[in-house]
């Protein structure tokens, strides 16, 4: 039997199909993302691994944040002001700021968050940045007042980090922070399968504006070669890359775009001066003179980055060539070894397998270079979570590390190199002059004077060589060309994902 399709029948079928289509749910716009190193925990106040910070920055918010130009801008707080004497800092909380369960962010949440940060029992990563806070008052739900024991020029920059996130007072009271994420940031963590996948949805209560898609699914892939393959196949829209070897391949792909920006974080060989023979100044200086920083950069990082001293922020950094022994000098290194009285020794250097991906290569180049002055390095590679525990405990002879940078030197280094620093057990090193210079820079508000103070600090730190600073790295993300709007930052934050749009 043959059916004759009249205009009426065709019109009826079209109407039926349209009705069916309208009855179906609209396809959710999802950003498919990938990285190779997963978060190691969910407590924003205690996490130090970059992989954890990148996730938590999408879920929580601090009082203020840094924009792409590294300027302090509003987050939970809509405004702030210092008193004339610099001893009172008052914040007004955004009336629209809400946690993802719909409850308002209040001054009591801010007060509870900073009291938790200051509690030594918390082991907060940024605790020593806030030791100038002598009292916190919440006179009304929208106002929080910090009373300072002394002027503290960099405290706003110190607050602009996820390690100073505002968390609900009730989550602090019930102890759920490490297991349940309840933030006021742009996304909600709906699912976390460690080392496999994260699923985030847009926080409908976020006060920061509309997001052009409904959520993010993050796949944790085994390595960055697999990430590149997933991007090539169109299975991933956006990816975080840490390996310069992989990143340099992206521009060759017609459908992909590489975003690269110089980072504030620094690659470093951390010595442990609490252990013999690293307690010997001449020996530490010999190591600094024996290291060829440019060779490490060229070999392990394929030239992607630049040699740096301790200060990596453009406003304060010195020319590395002006610092102690920043160009390899083997003759001087051997002379210093002789002066040290140490006739060669063996040390173990720890490195993480995934953060950064170049750590193993850096360790191997260092192993070769230090052999020239009779030092034998034994490399211990370990998973990131094991490495972080060892690193935080200061349980190493030497460590290859990638440490975070800040736009201001004080919050970048006081936690390592002041007597009250909460990570001084990681550096195992203090010096009266370094401590004094950090304190001077903290209270000084004149930019030119601060720069002079911190250049003295940097020169002193490089000369004492508790650590051997190597280089900064470029920060990379890669995306399909159907993704647009992402803004990179020298801090490495992925907060720019809030501005992304996806072509249909």
Task: Supply φ then ψ for residue 52, to 5 degrees.
Answer: -70, -45
- Residues in a beta bridge with 64: 74
Instruction: Report CA Rg, the chain.
Output: 25
Distance (Å, whole) CA 31 – CA 289: 47
pLDDT for residue 184 is more than 50? yes
- Rounded to whole angstroms, the Cα distance separating 498 from 215 reads 10
pLDDT at 233: 97
State the pLDDT at residue 28: 53
Class of domain 59-173 (CATH, top level): alpha beta
Report pLDDT for 464.
98
Of 244, 354, 249, 258, give the one whose Cα is nearest residue 304: 244
| Contact (Cβ atoms closer than 8 angstroms) between residue 148 and residue 141 | no
Strand partners, 202: 187
- pLDDT above 80: residue 5: no
CA count, 13 A, side-chain hemisphere, 75: 29
Q: Where are the alpha helices (DSSP H) in 24-106?
A: 50-56
User: According to the model, what pLDDT value does residue 45 have?
Assistant: 98
Cβ-contact 85, 194 below 8 angstroms: no
Compute the mean pLDDT over every residue in the chain, rounded to the nearest whole number. 93
Q: Which residue has the higher pLDDT, 7 or 398?
A: 398
CATH code at 263-474: 3.10.105.10
345-352 and 467-480 as β-strands: parallel, antiparallel, unpaired? unpaired
In the block, tokens 């007004």 appear at 92
Query: Which DSSP symbol is given to 148?
Result: E
Of 204, 205, 102, 80, the C-alpha closest to 148 is 80
Helix/strand/coil (H/E/C) assignment for every residue in 178-191: CCCCCCCCCEEEEE
174-183 mean pLDDT = 95
The Cα 352–Cα 265 span in angstroms is: 16
Nearest to 302 by CA among 255, 352, 241, 345: 241
How is residue 244 written in tokens? 């310069």
Contact 423, 415 (CB under 8 A): yes
CATH superfamily of the 187-261+475-502 domain:
Periplasmic binding protein-like II (3.40.190.10)
Residue pair 305/443 in contact (Cβ under 8 Å)? The answer is no
Max distance between CA atoms of the chain, in angstroms, equals 105
Domain spans of the chain? 59-173, 187-261+475-502, 263-474
Task: Tell me the per-residue pLDDT of 134-167, one tens digit each, with 9 for 90 and over.
Answer: 999 999 999 999 999 999 999 999 999 999 999 9
Region 272-294: mean pLDDT is 98
Residue 8 CB partners (closer than 8 Å, separation 6+): none
In this predicted structure, what is the pLDDT of residue 6? 38
User: Average pLDDT of 95-113?
Assistant: 98
Question: What secondary structure letter does DSSP report for 35?
Answer: E
- Give yes or no for residue 202 having a pLDDT over 70: yes
Give per-residue pLDDT as tens, 415-451. 999 999 999 999 999 999 999 999 999 999 999 999 9
pLDDT band for position 4 (cuts 50, 70, 90): very low
pLDDT score of 402: 96
Residues 159, 408 contacting (CB under 8 angstroms):
no
Whole-angstrom Cα distance, residue 101 to residue 153?
35
Residue 57 has pLDDT above 60, yes or no: yes
Residue 22, pLDDT score: 39
Residues 344-394 pLDDT 10s: 899 999 999 988 899 999 999 999 999 999 999 999 999 999 999 999 999
Give the rounded percent of residues in the chain with a pLDDT score beyond 70.
94
Q: Could you tell me if 264 and 493 are in contact, meaning their C-beta atoms sit under 8 angstroms apart?
A: no
Compute the distance between CA of residue 289 and CA of residue 320 in angstroms, rounded to an integer: 13
Rounded to two decimals, what is the model's pTM? Answer: 0.90
pLDDT at 27 over 70: no
- Name the residue with tokens 């002789």: 338
pLDDT confidence band for 7 (50 / 70 / 90)? very low
Q: Quick one: DSSP state of residue 69?
A: T
Distance of CA 172 to the CA centre of its chain: 23
Asked whether residue 20 carries a pLDDT value surpassing 90, the answer given is no
């Amino acid at each position: 039997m043959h059916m004759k399709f009249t205009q009426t029948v065709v019109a009826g079928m079209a109407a039926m199909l349209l009705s069916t289509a309208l009855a179906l749910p609209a396809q959710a716009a999802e950003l498919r993302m990938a990285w190779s190193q997963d978060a190691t925990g969910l407590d924003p106040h205690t996490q130090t691994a970059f992989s954890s910070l990148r996730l938590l920055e999408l879920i929580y918010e601090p009082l203020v944040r840094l924009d792409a130009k590294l300027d302090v801008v509003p987050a939970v707080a809509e405004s702030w002001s210092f008193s004339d004497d610099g001893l009172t800092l008052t914040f007004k909380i955004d009336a629209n700021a809400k946690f993802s369960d719909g409850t308002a962010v209040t001054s009591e949440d801010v007060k509870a968050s900073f009291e938790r940060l200051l509690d030594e029992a918390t082991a907060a990563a940024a605790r020593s940045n806030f030791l100038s806070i002598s009292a916190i008052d919440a006179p009304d739900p929208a106002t929080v007042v910090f009373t300072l024991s002394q002027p503290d020029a960099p405290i706003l920059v110190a607050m602009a980090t996820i390690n100073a996130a505002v968390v609900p007072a009730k989550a602090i009271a019930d102890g759920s922070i490490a297991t349940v994420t309840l933030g006021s940031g742009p996304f909600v963590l709906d699912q976390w399968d460690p080392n496999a996948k994260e699923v985030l949805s847009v926080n409908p209560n976020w006060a920061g504006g509309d997001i052009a898609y409904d959520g993010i699914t993050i796949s944790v892939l085994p390595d960055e070669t697999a990430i590149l393959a997933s991007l090539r196949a169109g299975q991933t829209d956006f990816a975080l890359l840490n390996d310069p070897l992989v990143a340099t391949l992206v521009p060759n792909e017609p459908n992909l775009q590489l975003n690269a920006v110089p980072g504030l974080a620094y690659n470093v060989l951390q010595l442990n001066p609490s252990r013999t023979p690293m307690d010997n100044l001449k020996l530490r200086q010999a190591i600094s003179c024996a290291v060829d920083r440019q060779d490490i950069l060229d070999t392990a990082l394929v030239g992607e980055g630049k040699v740096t001293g301790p200060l990596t922020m453009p406003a304060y950094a010195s020319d590395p060539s002006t610092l102690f022994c920043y160009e390899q000098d083997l003759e001087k290194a051997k002379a210093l070894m002789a002066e040290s009285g140490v006739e060669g020794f063996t040390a173990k250097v720890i490195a993480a397998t995934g953060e950064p991906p170049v750590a193993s290569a850096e360790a191997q180049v260092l192993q070769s270079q230090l052999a020239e002055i009779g030092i034998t390095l034994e490399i211990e590679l370990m998973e990131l979570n094991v490495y972080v525990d060892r690193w935080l405990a200061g349980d190493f002879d030497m460590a290859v590390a990638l440490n975070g940078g800040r736009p201001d030197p004080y919050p970048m280094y006081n936690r390592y190199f002041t007597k009250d620093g909460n990570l001084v057990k990681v550096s195992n090193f203090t010096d009266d002059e370094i401590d004094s210079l950090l304190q001077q820079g903290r209270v000084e508000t004149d930019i030119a004077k601060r720069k002079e103070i911190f250049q003295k600090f940097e020169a002193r730190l490089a000369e004492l060589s508790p650590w051997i600073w190597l280089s900064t790295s470029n920060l990379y993300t890669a995306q399909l060309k159907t993704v647009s709007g992402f803004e990179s930052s020298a801090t490495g934050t992925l907060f720019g994902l809030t501005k992304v749009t996806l072509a249909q």
